[in-house]
Structures are given as structure tokens and as C-alpha cells.
Structure 1
């Protein structure tokens, strides 16, 4: 397995350098005709530095699975991917230059303009897009909603990945301010507080506690909260880390539901809130025990389920369980999307059928929140960090 990984890495490096070479040649067709040598040297120096950084972080002496400095990795990934994407149209334009010599300057300029547009868009996603917090309002109507829960307001947020935020307090304080204005009846966090380590929460407990103290607050764990994506010295160390994350959630006022349910009362009426551990299609862990969590929940009860990965709803809830509303996160909407003609689209659909927004199966509803934080690359391109506000209505289903 290791040899295949090395081959993939070598292939990427070779492909990257070939693209860089083509891109540099295209740029020298357009700019600094009398200083081509200097321009080439500067551009090659930049690309070689990027490759050396890639080798240092991903091959030797560092390994991503052992990393704790997530912002360094995430922002390096952003630089690497931006330059990689910038090089593609430029390199293609130079290849076309060979075939259409008389129009070479037009082709070269077109390649540069496309490259520049893509590069600026990606940088926008890093600098502004990931801070552009959006609130989505969703109204849901149910025949069996208890009378006292008519107009009940539930706020969901998900996927903080707090250790990967360069300016964590910025987005967290924005989020807290939004929560204060919303004054929700119920505040739900659907997992992935961290990337791997409990220590990522250091310094952020006060703002998290301010959130948890605003209303009745509950949470579940996400796949990253278990520490499955790093190498531990012992199982005991991994367990201690998980216990630390659970302790943080409890300390900040969020009651953690681990394959459990609780009763939410309002006047003489009640609904049931169920929370399970993470369950996803392999290779994601499957810790959830929905049967255990539902024990004692009456069949006719109005039930809300918190489960981090929407794959769980697809596999074990849809058409099988009498659960009115399921709330998930996990996908991030791939942190990139388009909205042609008002229709949301993301390449996340290639890996997850239910990747963002509202889905129905009869009276059962799934909502997938696209998260607040980022993973892998710290950008959001038309897939803003999200808070979702649900208003429950009693009446006929729309």
C-alpha cells in the first residue's frame, strides 16, 4: 500500500511540474518580452518552493496524520491548489499556441485571463467566502406536531473543525451574535467540534459556553471527534482524547447524546430528541446504535434525530423508522458549489446523495447543514458557512 502512495505522489509532482512549465512559457509569451529569463527564474523558484513545501509536509520529515498544526496544512493546501488550478489554463493555452501560431497572443491572453479569474475566485473563497456566514430559514409543517410546539424554533449548526480555523474567534463570535438574536427554543450541534484533538478547543471555551448557555442545547459527535485520523501511541491515549472532547461539550452547556434520547417538554406536551454516535459508509466509522437510542420512544411520538452523517438517514431511517425530522452535517457541501437558476449544485453529489439542504421521504424530512468550519482547504466558494433555523408548524403537510 505504501508503494502505491509514493507512486501517486511522484505522479502528482511530475504532473505539477509539467503544468508549471507550460504555464511559465505561456506567461513569457505575454509579459516582459525583454526580461523573459528573469521572469522564468522567478516563476520556477516559486513553483519549486511549493513542491519542496509539499514534500516537507506530506513526505518527509512531516506526516499529515501526525500533524497538529492544521492551519499550516490547510493554508498550504490553498496555495498549492490555487497555483495548480492557475497553471492549467495557462499550460493548455501554450499547447494550443503550437497549433495556432498566428493567433498565439490571443490564445495566450485567453489562457491567462481564465487562470487569473480562477485564481481570484479561489483566493476570494479563502479570504472572504469562509467568513461569509449565512442563515437559512426553514419552515416545516406536521400534522402530528403537539399543539404547544407550534412555532417552535430550532437552530442547528455543525462541523466547526475548530483547530483548522486561523481566526476561530471571528466566525465563532459572529455565530454567537446570531444565536443571541435568534433566541432559539432549542440549539443543536451535529458534530465535528475538532479535527482530531481536544487541545484544539484551548482558548475557545468561553465563546462556546456562551453559545451553550443561550438555550436548551444538545450535541452529537462527528467522525473527526473520535480521533480516527491520527496515529496514537496507545488506545488509552485516544480514549483520553475523546473523553476530553466530551468533557468540553458538557462544560460548554451542550448535553451530549450518545445513542440516547431525551424528552423535550413544553407545557403539557412533549417531543423526543434522539442523538446517535457517528455512522457512515466505510471508511467512515459506524458507532451509532439507533435501536438503543430509540428504546422507550413511543411509536406515535414526534421525534427529531441528530446524526452527523446523512448516509445514516439513507441506510437506516428512510422508509424504516417513524422519525419526523433528521438533522445532519458532515458533507460541507464540498465547500464549493454553484447555484444556476437558483438550483444548488455541488460535486459533493458524486460522493453523497444527500449533501446539503432539505430532502423528503413522505412525512420524514432530512436536513443536511453544510457546516461552519472547513477541512482540507480553508475556503468556501458559494457554499457559505451555515446556521439553519427551523420553525415547526402544526397543520397539513405542504
Structure 2
């Protein structure tokens, strides 16, 4: 963590120094100059305190949230402005370094201002700017009765972060409007405590799906990130969280499998507890969950952390489709015209959207709620709708080579030839 903090600080300082050049080109007022660096020093002091002062608690988490928000507002606009000033310096290099152009500096500040406003939108309206993302996935061995079967996936609710009742209801209504056959929730119902969900139980009870609602636990659901007065209190919190799932009408799968039946055929729905790499707890037990499933069953797995797919699932028995969440897309990134980027991709190979390898699929939901950063910028909250389709003899399987960020696999597309 210390190395990452140093890298972030280095980028911050480089962006700061360049952006400051635009400031002093436009104004020579010393109050602006002093204020500019004073704000930076306070932010840097906050970052250093988080790295070297290791304490838990709600107050520390609130401080981290404020710090992240401040970094986005101050750092990101400067980062986007940096290439403009760097390009100007390259031109100045070949012209014996004349004075900076006031027009370039004004353009730099204007671009920084636009980015600043985009971030403000993300921190205010973006937290409930829900997007429905749809994928159709084809399988040669999908039972015929499930051809066209639809699944709505929600993930990472993080109810402890919410304050806008209308905003949350907007997302619930949108999820219901998809009219999917099955509704699956892939973990992180709360930030830390089961009581965070109390104001929202009735609302989530209204989610409907004819073939049922199922859920698994995420890393935050165990209460591992706050200090409890006793182990008994922590255990009681987890028991209460499990009860809340039942009160909302969700069947919580704890390293177990249920059968989803339709017209005399069935698929296996598997749910494991949280399993993650890089210090996250590994409560999930795929072997236990699949112990009694026939090898030729069509298998659908819910596992909160996508690293479980990469580290465990694809190396075990054939699981056709895994649904995960956890990453939130870092709640910050860019998705435009097929281009997708977020800092989270430097920590997770699979972090948002659909992935495939060896005929096995993974879908990573970007999250319904938010945590840490009190909003979303570019990585909008997501409601996923997946349609399962069965391939037939008159289906042409065309492989489209796609250079995914993790360089793992190709994306399949199918064209019907009647």
C-alpha cells in the first residue's frame, strides 16, 4: 500500500507542478499562489496520515471518503490538463523556451473546469445514475427449456452509504422493470453492520422474479472491517444479516447449490461465500458447494470476488457462467464508444463486464451502490440483464478476436443462419 501511495503522490505532484504553470501565467496574485499550495499540502498530509496511522472505525472511514473525494476534485482535472501543457513545453523546447501562451493556459484551465464539473455530477447525481447493461450468452449444452431464460444481477448494494430514498427506489423500480426470470445478488449488502439495511428492507422485498431471488455474501458482509466489542457481537451481526436476506425474500446460498427447474429440465445454481486474493478472506468452498452436482449439469455460480474465477473456478470442474461484483469499477473510469478504462484494472484482471476463457464465462457487475467515494464518476451504478441462449445446428459460431485488458480470451458472437 505504501508503494501505491508513493506512486499516487508522485503523479499528483507532477500534475500539480504543471498545472501551477498555467496559474502563474494567468495571474501573478500571490494569494492565489499561496492558496494553491496550501490546499495541496493539506491533502498530502491527509494521504500520509492514512498510510502510516492504521486505525479502524467509522470516523476513519469518513475521513478516507472525504480524502478520496478531495483527490478526485483536485487531482483528476490537473491530470487531464497535463498533456496540453506538456505538448506546449515540447513546442517551446524547439523555440528556445519562449514565455507560455496565455491562451494555452486559459484552455488548460477551461478543460480542468469541465472535468471538475463532471466529477461534481458523479458525486451528486452519479450515485443513482443507473445503467441497465444487457448481454446474451450462448451455450451448446444449455437445457432447451432455458433457451431465452433471463437473469437480473445486482451486486454491492452497500446500504450503509445511502441517504437518498428516492434515488434508491429508482434503481429498485428499474430492476423490476426488466421482468427477468431469476434475480441474483452477488454480495456486499452492507458496509459493516446488518443494521445499515434496516431502512431498506421493505423496499428490497418488492423485488420480484418468478423463479426466485438468491444471494451470496461479500467481503463487507462479515463485519471484518470494524472493531467489535466481542466476538459474540460480531457473530450476532452476521446472523442478523442472514435473517435480513430471508426477510427480503432472498435465499442465501452458503457454499451450497439449489436446482432451478423449468418444464422438466433444470440448471444448478451454486453460491459460495466470499473468496478473494490479496488479503481478502477465503470463506468460499467451491468443492463443498458442488459436491453433489452431476458433472453434466449446466452450472451457474455466484461468487462475489472475480479473482475467485481466475484463481479457482476455471481450474476446477466446468462452471458455465460465474457472476461476480466486488470491484465497483473503482466507481471511477471512462467508458466511451467501446473503450473501457479504470484504475481498478491494475489490480484485477477481470473488473467489469463479460469475460470468457475455455468456454467458461464470467460477468463482473459494476455495483448497485457505492462505498468509500460518495458517488460514481464514469462507472455508473449497474443493473445487469443476462439472457441465456442455446446454440443449435443452424448457428454459425464466429470467433471475434478481442484484445481484452487481461489478454485472457476471445469474445463469442453468433449469427443465426436460417
TM over 0.5: yes
Report the equivalent of 2:407: none
CA contact (8 A) 2:335 2:379 kept: no
Tell me by how many angstroms 1:10 deviates. Answer: 11
Q: Which of 319, 322, 331 pairs up with 1:323? A: 319
Q: Which of 76, 81, 84 pairs up with 2:72? A: 81
Report the equivalent of 2:231: 235
CA contact (8 A) 1:71 1:165 kept: no
Q: How many residues in Structure 1 have an aligned counterpart in Structure 2?
A: 388
**Cα 1:8–1:328 shift into 2, 3 Å:** closer
More helix, by proportion: 1
Residue 254 of structure 1 pairs with residue 250 of structure 2 = yes
**Cα 1:386–1:310 shift into 2, 3 Å:** same
**Cα 1:192–1:104 shift into 2, 3 Å:** same
Tell me by how many angstroms 1:107 deviates. Answer: 4.9
**Cα 1:294–1:23 shift into 2, 3 Å:** same
Report the equivalent of 1:66: 57
Provide, for residues 358-377 of structure 1, a one-character-per-residue CA deviation record: whole Å limited to 9, x for no partner. 12223321111111122322
CA contact (8 A) 1:57 1:64 kept: no
Tell me by how many angstroms 1:387 deviates. Answer: 0.9
Residue 121 of structure 1 pairs with residue 118 of structure 2 = yes
Provide, for residues 42-72 of structure 1, a one-character-per-residue CA deviation record: whole Å limited to 9, x for no partner. 65676677678x4899599x97621169667
Which deviates more from structure 2 when the two are superposed, residues 43-52 or residues 261-270? 43-52
CA contact (8 A) 1:89 1:112 kept: no
Q: Distance in 1 between matches of 2:16 and 2:136?
A: 50
Q: Which of 274, 281, 295 pairs up with 2:291? A: 295
Q: Which of 92, 112, 130 pairs up with 1:133? A: 130
Tell me by how many angstroms 1:294 deviates. Answer: 0.5
Unaligned 5+ residue runs, structure 2? 398-413
Tell me by how many angstroms 1:326 deviates. Answer: 0.8
Q: Distance in 2 between matches of 1:289 and 1:11?
A: 36
For the residue of structure 1 that corresponds to 2:297, the secondary structure is coil
Report the equivalent of 1:150: 147
Unaligned 5+ residue runs, structure 1? none
Over the residues paired in the alignment, what is the CA RMSD in angstroms? 3.6
Q: Distance in 2 between matches of 1:338 and 1:85?
A: 12
Which deviates more from structure 2 when the two are superposed, residues 132-141 or residues 94-103? 94-103
Q: Which of 155, 158, 165 pairs up with 1:161? A: 158
Q: Distance in 1 between matches of 2:17 and 2:299?
A: 58
For the residue of structure 2 that corresponds to 1:130, the secondary structure is helix
CA contact (8 A) 1:278 1:288 kept: yes
Tell me by how many angstroms 1:173 deviates. Answer: 0.9
**Cα 1:238–1:117 shift into 2, 3 Å:** same
Q: Distance in 2 between matches of 1:59 and 1:303?
A: 42
**Cα 1:232–1:389 shift into 2, 3 Å:** same
**Cα 1:206–1:347 shift into 2, 3 Å:** same
**Cα 1:73–1:103 shift into 2, 3 Å:** closer
Report the equivalent of 1:198: 194
Residue 310 of structure 1 pairs with residue 306 of structure 2 = yes
Report the equivalent of 1:342: 338
Q: Distance in 2 between matches of 1:17 and 1:315?
A: 36
Which deviates more from structure 2 when the two are superposed, residues 231-240 or residues 262-271? 231-240
Residue 394 of structure 1 pairs with residue 385 of structure 2 = no
Report the equivalent of 1:333: 329
**Cα 1:118–1:152 shift into 2, 3 Å:** same
Q: Distance in 1 between matches of 2:195 and 2:291?
A: 35
CA contact (8 A) 2:180 2:209 kept: no
Tell me by how many angstroms 1:212 deviates. Answer: 5.8
For the residue of structure 2 that corresponds to 1:172, the secondary structure is helix
CA contact (8 A) 2:122 2:377 kept: yes
